[in-house]
Amino acid sequence: MRVLVIGIDGATFRLMRPLMQNGYMPFLCEVEQRGALGTLETIYPPVTAPAWSSFMTGKNPGKHGVYEFLHRKRGTLEQIPVNAGMLGSETLWEMMSKAGKRMVVVSVPLCYPPFPVNGTLMSDFLAPKGARDLSYPPELLKEVEDKFGEYLLYHKQVYTKDNVANVLAELEEHTEYRQRVAEYLLKRDAWDFAMVYFEGTDRLQHELWHVIDPTSPMHDKQEAEQYAERTRNYYRVLDNDVRKLADLALAQDPDTQIILMSDHGFGAIHKFVNFNIWLLREGFLKLKNDIPTQLKHALFNLGFTPSLGYKLSMNFGFANLRLSQGMTNRNQILDLVRRGFLSFRNVDWKRTRAFSSGNYGQIFVNLQGREPFGSVPPEEFATVVEQIGARLLELRDPQTGAPVVDKVYKQSEVFWGEFIDDAPDVVFSLAENYKALGTLEFASNRVVEPAFGNSGDHRMDGFVGMLGNEIKHNFKIEHANIMDVAPTILYLMGLPIPSDLDGHVLTAPLRDEFVLSQQMMQGDALGARDQLIPDYTEEESEEVKERLRALGYLG
């Protein structure tokens, strides 16, 4: 049978449930009544790149090797943007191509650079600006652009109080464009599997969460009165677009099973947490004793910080500095304001036992033999990890006294596999409404501070829906993980499931008769493969990083 997957980045019941109840998402209500719907737990960290990688491989990041938007080269502090070549395991697209299944894949993250598939594939927003190798087969891009104009991948508009309309207009334009391309490609060729990806929900929720969430510290009643209805209407239009794709697939073949899903959930940001500052204050991270570093540190303690420079630039109307195109960009302003501030160049690595790098405050031990300036002997590694974990649980919000860290995990509970050496050593989740402040080393001189910029960010609880003639009606999906989707797709399509996938087939939402009749075939283990380091020029690498910063992912 055929399977159509519609990926809706960051879609969450925190927003969708009220929208469903108030008539904005009638198709999703139908999926709940005529099919199955529930929560889909994602992997840690709940970031787009590793989450969709775990979807398409059915494995945790320890087996596919993608942990963040940036990959740190082993033995260095250098970071490069990830792309499809970084995946250290086969993907759904490859498994199905080998089995002779034809497919259509539209802009799913980690599909750049495009690779040969048995069908058609359009690349994603992680492609460098100006790249023209955006499709497979290569000539498909020109065909699409001849019909629909320039292939829209990059969002430019960001929130300021005078720019909400432009943010929404861009989201509406991109979604309409993606819908038209998707419908065309689904009609263009016969297919067994198809996937269409929408990222507008993620962008809207990062930039405009506060517009429709009255509990957000950034909520402005007047702004909400002006824009909340248009913001909610975006979901009405998207819901109808998803309906049209489902109807198109079912009209072509009634024996099509449809899966709707997000890569992670979403929620409000109320406060930022700066973990390198915390490590500095706790004594795990040390600064150099030279005069330039001490001068920077003194100014830092007085409040002269990169976050101050960023806030001032925003307050003086330079919101466009966050953009990846235009007069300048956010990376340039950050480079200017941080030249005189603390950075990892001011760290005394010989005395430093741990540092933080990542969207969720991931902490790495400065381990001898692994880090470029490692100071912690292997025999002390476990002790340092345990000490940091215990102190994280003691971290309190200075205003409320509430715990900032919700839970500390053993690394082995979250990651396992061939690429475990690249995993963070201390893995933890923050309390609700707290967010680590990106990957800027020393953004602020406060460990906990009010959030600014984005008003929403990722959570672990995404969603999944299933609809089709082999799906139970009015079934609540429970205990599902994003790694379960790939083996479920393979099972629905009658293909063998590799034995080293971490996910499991979601049989509970499937009709009992189907499960009894459809044999579950186990295939050989896929194992790991070498990661291909992106062959970007320095300019291309910096451009992708700039765009990720503009989107709020790199500090």
What secondary structure does DSSP assign to 84-136, as a single string?
A: GGG--S--HHHHHHHTT--EEEES-SS--S----SEEEE--TTSPTT----EE
**Looking at residue 300, what is its pLDDT?**
87
What confidence tens digit (pLDDT) does each residue in 2-33 have? 999 999 999 999 999 999 999 999 999 999 99
> For the residues 459-478, what does the mean pLDDT come to?
98
Given a cut of 80, whether residue 243 has pLDDT beyond it is yes
d(Cα 19, Cα 28) in Å, to the nearest integer? 10
**Looking at residue 348, what is its pLDDT?**
98
**Strand 271-273 to 434-436 pairing:** parallel
Count CB atoms within 10 A of the CB of residue 290: 11
Q: Report residue 365 as tokens.
A: 């031990």
Closest C-alpha to 464, from 2, 3, 4, 7: 7
> For the residues 68-79, what does the mean pLDDT come to?
89
> For the residues 369-394, what does the mean pLDDT come to?
97
d(Cα 375, Cα 295) in Å, to the nearest integer? 25
> For the residues 359-386, what does the mean pLDDT come to?
96
Name the more confident of 379 and 310.
Answer: 379
d(Cα 259, Cα 37) in Å, to the nearest integer? 10
Q: Buried (b) or exposed (e) across 125-135, using 16+ Cβ within 10 A? A: bbbbeebeebb
- Residue 330: pLDDT band by 50, 70, 90 thresholds? very low
**Any idea which residue has 């334009």 for tokens?**
173
Question: Which residues contact residue 522 at a Cβ distance below 8 angstroms, ignoring those fewer than 6 apart?
Answer: 496, 497, 498, 499
Question: Which residues contact residue 29 at a Cβ distance below 8 angstroms, ignoring those fewer than 6 apart?
Answer: 20
What confidence tens digit (pLDDT) does each residue in 109-134 have? 999 999 999 999 999 999 998 999 99
Q: Report residue 57 as tokens.
A: 């491989």
Question: Which residues contact residue 235 at a Cβ distance below 8 angstroms, ignoring those fewer than 6 apart?
Answer: 15, 16, 19, 24, 25, 201
What confidence tens digit (pLDDT) does each residue in 166-202 have? 999 999 999 999 999 999 999 999 999 999 999 999 9
d(Cα 165, Cα 50) in Å, to the nearest integer? 31
**Looking at residue 312, what is its pLDDT?**
58
d(Cα 105, Cα 103) in Å, to the nearest integer? 6
Distances (CA, A) of 56 to 38, 333, 416, 419, 548: 20, 36, 17, 17, 22
What confidence tens digit (pLDDT) does each residue in 511-554 have? 999 999 999 999 999 999 999 988 788 888 888 888 887 777 76
d(Cα 109, Cα 127) in Å, to the nearest integer? 10
Name the more confident of 306 and 471.
Answer: 471
The mean pLDDT value of the chain amounts to: 92
